[in-house]
A and B are shown apart, each in its own frame.
Chain A
Amino acid sequence: MCTTCGCGVGQTRINGQSMPSRHRSNTRLHYRPSQSAHDPAHEQVSAPVTADHATDTLHFGTGIAGTHAPGMSQSRIVKIERDILAKNNQYAAENRRYFAQHGIFALNLVSSPGSGKTTVLVKTIEMLRDRFPIAVIEGDQQTDHDAARIRATGVPALQINTGKGCHLDAHMIGQALQQMSILDNSLLFIENVGNLVCPSGFDLGEAHKVVILSATEGEDKPLKYPDMFHAADLMLLNKCDLLPHLTFDVDLAIDYAHRIHPGLPVLQISATLGSGMQAWIDWISAGCHRAAAASQLPQHIDSTLG
């Protein structure tokens, strides 16, 4: 565990059950610790018992220069050329394929804490539950309060607790999908951990990221947290019923969002009063119909979504 901020691994839970770690492969790795010439304490470190002594061949042609010169280090350069997020993106691609095959329209809801994500979700479910089968994956560091709020609407919800983690990743979603039985042609909401920074970089396989900004926050959130607004395909401006009591400048907020993401569609809503929700409902419905239609065309499965 990190001693500075306390974040760590192995604390992710899905509906209270711990999740198998993906960080350790089954393959046993042979390694020996680096020997530091400057640190006598490290010079005596013995090689772990797993060290590979199987080969008795001395090969002098594997150095950087491809040949051997007396006294030169035998280190070599290995080309990797792989995206750091490649692993996550692989899991995301698997999720996306699953969604496409089953006509599932998946939305990844992202925002800072307290923007009203869960309230938007509850209201949306109430308006749509008679039209589409709906399922929800809830992401929070701790508690299953949000999943309980969703289940109260009659819709199945699975809670992922990320422990100290600050975002959901595609592997967690893949595990969650195995535990859920989502009907074909469903609408799936993934409510990410309330955080405007980290979730932006992690593709979950969703059709769209939807960023929620609320009128009780600053107009300049898009400029302060550009990655999220850059990654999103739709912005909901929530709590618009409070605008008469606030100094929030809607046009300025939209202008800032468009500086980061030109053409980003913005819908002004109030989840509490239900105002402006119809445009959001229409946007979702269009997506659901597209996803369902695309799943009927196997040859176009991967290209027609989005």
Chain B
Amino acid sequence: MHELSLAESILQLIEEAAVEQQFTQVKTVWLEVGQLACVEQESLRFFFAVVTEDSIARQAKLEIIDIAGQAKCGQCHRVMMIATYHQACPQCGSYALHVTQGDGMRIKELEVE
């Protein structure tokens, strides 16, 4: 349910950018969402549509770019792709993995007019 807060944060960042960069309408929002980030994409889409109603981003298209999870094994230092936090290293079986990519969410860019 925190997707509502995330959607509001997205709109807030967009509105700040609108003031700085002088645009009046957002057509597309590109979001990078890590596979390990604590966010449910369908829920985020739903809340994005709700919070952007009557805003500068009304009816904007939300394009989500999936960022794969990546980790480095603390034991054997192998770098691997992971889909969940509880995966073991395929090489040595260790669970001591350090996530190096795919646990964040950010707005990459906007198509604006």
Contact, CB under 8 Å: A7 / B4: yes
Contact, CB under 8 Å: B38 / A259: no
List A7-33 residues whose CB lies under 8 Å from chain B.
Answer: 7-9, 23, 25, 27, 29-33
Q: List the B residue with the shortest CB-CB distance to A73.
A: B113
Contact, CB under 8 Å: A4 / B18: no
Known pairs A30-B24, A80-B109. 7 more at Cβ < 8 A?
A: A5-B1, A7-B1, A29-B19, A29-B56, A167-B5, A227-B85, A262-B74
A74, B27: Cα distance in complex, Å: 11
Q: Which residues of A contact B (CB under 8 A)?
A: 2, 4-5, 7-9, 23, 25, 27, 29-34, 36, 51-52, 64, 73-88, 165-167, 169, 197-198, 200-202, 222-223, 226-227, 229-230, 256, 258-263
**Chain B interface mostly:** mixed
Q: Mark B1-38, 1 if CB is under 8 A from A, else 0.
A: 11011101111111111110101110100010000011
B87–chain A nearest beta-carbon distance, Å: 8
Q: List the A residue with the shortest CB-CB distance to B20.
A: A78
Nearest 5 pairs of A and B residues by beta carbon: A198-B2, A31-B56, A262-B96, A226-B85, A34-B59
Contact, CB under 8 Å: A31 / B111: no
B40–chain A nearest beta-carbon distance, Å: 10
Q: List the A residue with the shortest CB-CB distance to B60.
A: A34
Contact, CB under 8 Å: B2 / A167: yes
Q: Which residues of B contact A (CB under 8 A)?
A: 1-2, 4-6, 8-19, 21, 23-25, 27, 31, 37-39, 46-47, 50, 54-56, 58-60, 74, 84-86, 88, 94-97, 104-113
Give 29 A-B contacts (CB < 8 Å), ordered by A residue. Answer: A2-B47, A9-B4, A25-B16, A29-B56, A31-B18, A31-B56, A34-B27, A51-B24, A73-B113, A76-B23, A76-B112, A77-B110, A77-B111, A77-B112, A80-B13, A80-B108, A80-B110, A84-B6, A84-B105, A85-B9, A86-B9, A167-B2, A198-B5, A201-B2, A227-B85, A256-B86, A259-B88, A259-B95, A262-B97
A258, B95: Cα distance in complex, Å: 7
A25–chain B nearest beta-carbon distance, Å: 6
A225–chain B nearest beta-carbon distance, Å: 9
**Residues of A close to B37: CB separation below 8 A:** 201
The listed residue with most B CB atoms (<10 A of its CB), out of A80, A87, A167, A230, is: A80
